[in-house]
Amino acid sequence: MSNFSFIRSIRKMYQCFVDKPLDNGTIINNLYQISHVIGSGSYGIIYYCKDIQTNEIKVLKQLRPSKNRTKSGVALFENEISIISRLQHSNMPQFYEAFSVNGSFFYSMNYIEGINMEDLIFSTNQTFNEKEALAFMLDLLSLIGHLHERYIIHGDIRISNILTNKGKLFLIDFGLSKIEQNDSKFLEMKQGDYYDLGEVLLYLLYTTFSSKNKKALPWTEELSLEKKTVKLLKNLLQIDEAYTTLECIVKDVEDALLEITKN
Protein backbone atom coordinates (compact mmCIF):
# COMPACT_ATOMS: atom_id res chain seq x y z
CA MET A 1 0.00 0.00 0.00
CA SER A 2 1.37 3.43 -0.96
CA ASN A 3 1.79 6.20 1.60
CA PHE A 4 -1.03 8.12 -0.11
CA SER A 5 -3.43 5.15 0.11
CA PHE A 6 -2.46 4.57 3.74
CA ILE A 7 -3.08 8.20 4.68
CA ARG A 8 -6.41 8.17 2.84
CA SER A 9 -7.48 5.01 4.69
CA ILE A 10 -6.55 6.55 8.05
CA ARG A 11 -8.48 9.70 7.13
CA LYS A 12 -11.59 7.69 6.23
CA MET A 13 -11.39 5.76 9.49
CA TYR A 14 -11.07 9.03 11.38
CA GLN A 15 -14.07 10.52 9.56
CA CYS A 16 -16.22 7.45 10.24
CA PHE A 17 -15.40 7.68 13.92
CA VAL A 18 -15.76 11.46 14.26
CA ASP A 19 -18.77 11.81 11.95
CA LYS A 20 -20.94 9.28 13.72
CA PRO A 21 -24.55 10.62 13.53
CA LEU A 22 -26.23 11.79 16.70
CA ASP A 23 -28.33 9.17 18.46
CA ASN A 24 -32.08 9.02 17.87
CA GLY A 25 -33.89 10.81 20.67
CA THR A 26 -31.10 13.33 21.24
CA ILE A 27 -32.37 16.87 21.89
CA ILE A 28 -30.30 19.61 20.27
CA ASN A 29 -30.36 23.27 21.35
CA ASN A 30 -33.10 22.40 23.87
CA LEU A 31 -35.54 22.36 20.96
CA TYR A 32 -34.97 19.72 18.27
CA GLN A 33 -35.49 16.06 19.13
CA ILE A 34 -33.80 13.84 16.58
CA SER A 35 -35.88 11.02 15.18
CA HIS A 36 -33.53 9.60 12.53
CA VAL A 37 -31.06 10.44 9.78
CA ILE A 38 -32.70 11.12 6.42
CA GLY A 39 -29.64 11.96 4.39
CA SER A 40 -25.93 12.61 4.37
CA GLY A 41 -23.33 14.08 2.07
CA SER A 42 -19.64 14.81 2.04
CA TYR A 43 -20.17 17.88 4.23
CA GLY A 44 -23.42 17.40 6.11
CA ILE A 45 -25.68 15.04 8.04
CA ILE A 46 -29.42 15.66 7.80
CA TYR A 47 -31.87 14.68 10.55
CA TYR A 48 -35.64 14.33 10.72
CA CYS A 49 -36.63 16.09 13.97
CA LYS A 50 -39.52 17.22 16.10
CA ASP A 51 -39.72 20.75 17.48
CA ILE A 52 -40.56 19.94 21.12
CA GLN A 53 -42.16 23.36 21.62
CA THR A 54 -44.56 23.26 18.67
CA ASN A 55 -44.57 19.51 17.82
CA GLU A 56 -43.80 20.46 14.21
CA ILE A 57 -41.64 18.20 12.08
CA LYS A 58 -38.46 19.98 11.02
CA VAL A 59 -35.13 19.18 9.40
CA LEU A 60 -31.79 19.75 11.07
CA LYS A 61 -28.57 19.85 9.07
CA GLN A 62 -25.27 19.36 10.83
CA LEU A 63 -21.86 20.15 9.41
CA ARG A 64 -19.85 16.96 9.67
CA PRO A 65 -17.64 17.25 12.77
CA SER A 66 -14.59 16.30 10.70
CA LYS A 67 -15.18 19.50 8.68
CA ASN A 68 -15.52 21.74 11.76
CA ARG A 69 -11.78 22.18 11.94
CA THR A 70 -11.31 23.23 8.33
CA LYS A 71 -11.87 26.82 7.25
CA SER A 72 -13.16 25.65 3.88
CA GLY A 73 -15.73 23.32 5.45
CA VAL A 74 -17.08 25.98 7.80
CA ALA A 75 -17.09 28.57 5.00
CA LEU A 76 -19.13 26.29 2.73
CA PHE A 77 -21.63 25.64 5.51
CA GLU A 78 -21.95 29.36 6.28
CA ASN A 79 -22.42 30.06 2.57
CA GLU A 80 -25.21 27.46 2.42
CA ILE A 81 -26.92 29.12 5.39
CA SER A 82 -26.63 32.48 3.64
CA ILE A 83 -28.27 31.05 0.51
CA ILE A 84 -31.04 29.18 2.33
CA SER A 85 -31.95 32.24 4.39
CA ARG A 86 -32.51 34.23 1.17
CA LEU A 87 -34.97 31.77 -0.36
CA GLN A 88 -38.59 32.87 -0.35
CA HIS A 89 -40.34 30.17 -2.32
CA SER A 90 -42.87 27.61 -1.09
CA ASN A 91 -41.18 24.93 -3.24
CA MET A 92 -37.77 25.39 -1.64
CA PRO A 93 -36.48 24.95 1.92
CA GLN A 94 -37.58 27.50 4.50
CA PHE A 95 -34.77 28.53 6.85
CA TYR A 96 -35.44 28.87 10.60
CA GLU A 97 -32.19 29.36 12.48
CA ALA A 98 -28.48 28.58 12.65
CA PHE A 99 -26.59 27.77 15.84
CA SER A 100 -23.68 25.82 17.29
CA VAL A 101 -23.64 23.29 20.12
CA ASN A 102 -20.44 21.95 21.68
CA GLY A 103 -18.43 23.05 18.66
CA SER A 104 -20.81 21.52 16.10
CA PHE A 105 -22.61 23.70 13.57
CA PHE A 106 -26.31 23.29 12.69
CA TYR A 107 -29.17 24.99 10.92
CA SER A 108 -32.85 24.12 10.83
CA MET A 109 -35.41 24.27 8.03
CA ASN A 110 -38.88 23.03 7.26
CA TYR A 111 -39.56 19.42 6.32
CA ILE A 112 -40.60 19.01 2.68
CA GLU A 113 -42.69 15.91 2.14
CA GLY A 114 -42.22 14.23 -1.19
CA ILE A 115 -40.44 11.50 -3.11
CA ASN A 116 -36.98 11.99 -4.50
CA MET A 117 -36.99 11.94 -8.32
CA GLU A 118 -34.12 9.48 -8.35
CA ASP A 119 -36.15 7.05 -6.23
CA LEU A 120 -39.24 7.73 -8.32
CA ILE A 121 -37.45 6.78 -11.52
CA PHE A 122 -35.22 3.92 -10.38
CA SER A 123 -37.23 2.38 -7.53
CA THR A 124 -40.81 2.78 -8.73
CA ASN A 125 -39.98 2.69 -12.46
CA GLN A 126 -41.81 5.94 -13.18
CA THR A 127 -41.52 6.91 -16.84
CA PHE A 128 -41.85 10.21 -18.69
CA ASN A 129 -42.75 10.47 -22.34
CA GLU A 130 -41.46 13.43 -24.33
CA LYS A 131 -44.44 15.65 -23.58
CA GLU A 132 -44.37 14.85 -19.86
CA ALA A 133 -40.62 15.44 -19.66
CA LEU A 134 -40.95 18.87 -21.28
CA ALA A 135 -43.85 19.83 -18.99
CA PHE A 136 -41.68 18.78 -16.04
CA MET A 137 -38.94 21.07 -17.33
CA LEU A 138 -41.28 24.06 -17.42
CA ASP A 139 -42.05 23.59 -13.72
CA LEU A 140 -38.36 23.19 -12.91
CA LEU A 141 -37.44 26.26 -14.95
CA SER A 142 -39.79 28.40 -12.87
CA LEU A 143 -37.83 27.40 -9.75
CA ILE A 144 -34.47 28.10 -11.39
CA GLY A 145 -35.82 31.44 -12.55
CA HIS A 146 -36.62 32.36 -8.95
CA LEU A 147 -32.98 31.69 -8.04
CA HIS A 148 -31.41 33.45 -11.00
CA GLU A 149 -33.52 36.56 -10.41
CA ARG A 150 -31.72 36.75 -7.05
CA TYR A 151 -28.29 36.06 -8.58
CA ILE A 152 -28.22 32.60 -7.00
CA ILE A 153 -26.62 29.72 -8.89
CA HIS A 154 -27.86 26.36 -7.62
CA GLY A 155 -24.79 24.50 -8.81
CA ASP A 156 -26.13 20.97 -8.32
CA ILE A 157 -29.37 20.52 -10.26
CA ARG A 158 -29.93 16.78 -10.59
CA ILE A 159 -32.76 14.32 -10.11
CA SER A 160 -31.63 13.44 -6.58
CA ASN A 161 -32.09 17.09 -5.57
CA ILE A 162 -35.65 17.34 -6.87
CA LEU A 163 -38.64 16.14 -4.88
CA THR A 164 -42.17 15.69 -6.16
CA ASN A 165 -45.44 15.56 -4.26
CA LYS A 166 -48.90 15.51 -5.86
CA GLY A 167 -47.58 16.99 -9.09
CA LYS A 168 -45.55 19.75 -7.43
CA LEU A 169 -41.78 20.00 -7.70
CA PHE A 170 -39.45 20.99 -4.87
CA LEU A 171 -35.81 21.94 -5.28
CA ILE A 172 -33.46 21.08 -2.40
CA ASP A 173 -29.77 20.88 -1.41
CA PHE A 174 -28.06 24.24 -1.77
CA GLY A 175 -24.70 23.06 -0.47
CA LEU A 176 -22.90 24.01 -3.71
CA SER A 177 -24.91 27.16 -4.43
CA LYS A 178 -23.31 30.55 -4.89
CA ILE A 179 -24.34 34.18 -5.10
CA GLU A 180 -22.67 36.10 -7.91
CA GLN A 181 -23.67 39.70 -8.60
CA ASN A 182 -21.00 40.37 -11.20
CA ASP A 183 -22.99 40.21 -14.44
CA SER A 184 -20.26 38.70 -16.62
CA LYS A 185 -19.36 36.04 -14.04
CA PHE A 186 -23.04 35.35 -13.39
CA LEU A 187 -23.67 34.78 -17.10
CA GLU A 188 -20.78 32.32 -17.20
CA MET A 189 -21.89 30.49 -14.06
CA LYS A 190 -25.48 30.17 -15.28
CA GLN A 191 -24.22 27.86 -18.00
CA GLY A 192 -23.56 25.24 -15.34
CA ASP A 193 -27.20 25.30 -14.24
CA TYR A 194 -28.36 25.20 -17.86
CA TYR A 195 -26.15 22.18 -18.56
CA ASP A 196 -27.56 20.44 -15.48
CA LEU A 197 -31.08 21.10 -16.78
CA GLY A 198 -30.12 19.34 -20.00
CA GLU A 199 -28.88 16.34 -18.03
CA VAL A 200 -32.14 16.20 -16.06
CA LEU A 201 -34.19 16.33 -19.26
CA LEU A 202 -32.07 13.57 -20.77
CA TYR A 203 -32.64 11.38 -17.67
CA LEU A 204 -36.39 11.83 -17.99
CA LEU A 205 -36.41 11.05 -21.70
CA TYR A 206 -34.40 7.86 -21.17
CA THR A 207 -37.03 6.48 -18.78
CA THR A 208 -39.03 5.25 -21.78
CA PHE A 209 -36.00 4.01 -23.72
CA SER A 210 -35.46 0.30 -24.27
CA SER A 211 -32.14 -0.58 -25.89
CA LYS A 212 -32.20 -2.96 -28.83
CA ASN A 213 -28.49 -2.67 -29.47
CA LYS A 214 -25.72 -4.29 -27.48
CA LYS A 215 -23.52 -1.27 -28.15
CA ALA A 216 -24.43 2.03 -26.52
CA LEU A 217 -25.04 4.85 -28.96
CA PRO A 218 -25.19 8.64 -28.51
CA TRP A 219 -28.56 9.92 -27.32
CA THR A 220 -29.06 11.62 -30.69
CA GLU A 221 -29.19 8.14 -32.24
CA GLU A 222 -30.89 6.21 -29.43
CA LEU A 223 -33.77 8.56 -28.70
CA SER A 224 -36.52 9.31 -31.18
CA LEU A 225 -37.38 12.95 -30.48
CA GLU A 226 -39.07 15.85 -32.20
CA LYS A 227 -36.70 18.30 -33.92
CA LYS A 228 -37.30 21.12 -31.44
CA THR A 229 -36.64 18.86 -28.47
CA VAL A 230 -33.34 17.83 -30.06
CA LYS A 231 -32.47 21.51 -30.59
CA LEU A 232 -33.35 22.28 -26.97
CA LEU A 233 -31.13 19.50 -25.66
CA LYS A 234 -28.20 20.39 -27.91
CA ASN A 235 -28.31 24.01 -26.72
CA LEU A 236 -28.64 23.04 -23.05
CA LEU A 237 -25.77 20.55 -23.29
CA GLN A 238 -23.73 23.10 -25.26
CA ILE A 239 -23.34 20.80 -28.25
CA ASP A 240 -24.67 23.75 -30.25
CA GLU A 241 -24.71 27.41 -29.23
CA ALA A 242 -25.30 27.69 -25.48
CA TYR A 243 -28.25 29.56 -24.04
CA THR A 244 -27.65 32.96 -22.46
CA THR A 245 -31.04 33.52 -20.80
CA LEU A 246 -33.64 31.41 -19.05
CA GLU A 247 -36.35 33.11 -21.10
CA CYS A 248 -34.91 31.58 -24.28
CA ILE A 249 -34.97 28.13 -22.70
CA VAL A 250 -38.59 28.55 -21.59
CA LYS A 251 -39.58 29.64 -25.11
CA ASP A 252 -37.86 26.65 -26.70
CA VAL A 253 -39.51 24.24 -24.24
CA GLU A 254 -42.90 25.76 -25.04
CA ASP A 255 -42.17 25.53 -28.78
CA ALA A 256 -41.15 21.88 -28.41
CA LEU A 257 -44.39 21.13 -26.54
CA LEU A 258 -46.38 22.87 -29.25
CA GLU A 259 -44.62 20.79 -31.92
CA ILE A 260 -45.61 17.59 -30.09
CA THR A 261 -49.22 18.76 -29.77
CA LYS A 262 -49.44 19.52 -33.49
CA ASN A 263 -48.02 16.14 -34.42
**Residues taking part in catalysis:** 156
Residues 6+ apart with CB under 8 A from 2: none
**Paired strand residues for 34:** 49
Residue 162 CB burial class (10 angstroms; 0-12, 13-18, ≥19): buried
Number of other residues whose CB lies within 10 A of the CB of residue 80: 22
Residue 71 CB burial class (10 angstroms; 0-12, 13-18, ≥19): exposed
Residues 6+ apart with CB under 8 A from 26: 33, 34
Helix axes of 227-236 and 183-206: crossing angle, nearest 10 degrees? 130
How far apart CA 186 and CA 46 sit, in angstroms, is 30
How far apart CA 10 and CA 24 sit, in angstroms, is 27
Number of other residues whose CB lies within 10 A of the CB of residue 35: 15
